[in-house]
């Protein structure tokens, strides 16, 4: 997937990459901890965030369709679907949580496989095992989401906990990578 021999040998660039990885890991870890402590707020924030992204995406697609081809019915249909779905999720957050739950299962599976691929591509370097653990945690969260999916809307706080756990492990992995990035370029 990623070849870590591609990292530059320039010390200044490696230090910047390490610093930004460390900062991103710290921010993700802190957000993850807050999401675990306040799972219901994290669930509602996550669903609202996704809904607003859909609404703004729909507005953008509508604007582009208006400017480029006003007769493009597929562009207008996409606009209506995005805005309608986003507004529905905002107005009916419990249904939105159920829909977002299945999307998170897919995301966690993809994130887990990426973690395994990244860990195996880093294998001779220090810290490769941390990416593999991160991948395992993501796969486990995806399985839990799929198994408990129909009732995930009734227990909305689970999304906040799962997102928090994922962000915490991503943050720990990035913190470790940021503090050891100099070793990756060698």
Query: Could you list the mean pLDDT of each consecutive 10-residue stretch along the chain, which spans 186 residues?
Result: 51 73 88 91 87 94 89 88 91 79 83 81 70 84 80 70 85 80 55
Predicted confidence at residue 144, as pLDDT, reads 83
- Residue 5 has a pLDDT of 54
CB 106 within 8 A of CB 73: no
What is the model's pLDDT at position 84? Answer: 92
Of 116, 161, 117, nearest to 134 by C-alpha is 116
What confidence score (pLDDT) does residue 80 get?
94
pLDDT at 150: 67
Res 160: pLDDT: 83
pLDDT value of position 182? 56
**pLDDT for the residue numbered 141:** 82
Return the pLDDT at 9: 59
CA-wise closest residue to 18 among 149, 137, 174:
174
Whole-structure pTM value: 0.64
- pLDDT at 107 (0 to 100): 85
86 Cβ partners below 8 Å, 6+ apart? 51, 52, 53, 54, 55, 57, 58
CA atoms of 49 and 55, how far apart (whole Å): 10
């Amino acid at each position: 997937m990623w070849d870590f021999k591609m990292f530059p040998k320039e010390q200044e660039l490696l230090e910047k990459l390490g610093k930004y990885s460390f900062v991103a890991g710290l921010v993700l870890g802190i957000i993850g901890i807050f999401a675990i402590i306040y799972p219901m707020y994290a669930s509602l924030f996550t669903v609202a965030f996704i809904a607003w992204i859909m609404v703004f995406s729909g507005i953008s697609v509508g604007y582009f369709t208006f400017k480029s081809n006003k007769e493009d019915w597929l562009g207008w249909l996409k606009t209506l679907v995005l805005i309608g779905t986003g507004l529905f999720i905002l107005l009916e957050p419990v249904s939105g949580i159920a829909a977002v739950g299945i999307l998170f299962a897919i995301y966690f599976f993809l994130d887990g496989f990426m973690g395994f691929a990244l860990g195996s591509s880093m294998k001779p370097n220090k810290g490769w095992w941390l990416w593999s653990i991160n991948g395992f945690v993501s796969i486990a969260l995806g399985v839990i989401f799929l198994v408990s999916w129909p009732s995930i809307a009734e227990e909305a706080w689970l999304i906040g906990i799962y997102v928090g756990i994922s962000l915490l492990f991503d943050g720990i992995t990035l913190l470790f990578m940021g503090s050891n990035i100099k070793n990756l370029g060698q």
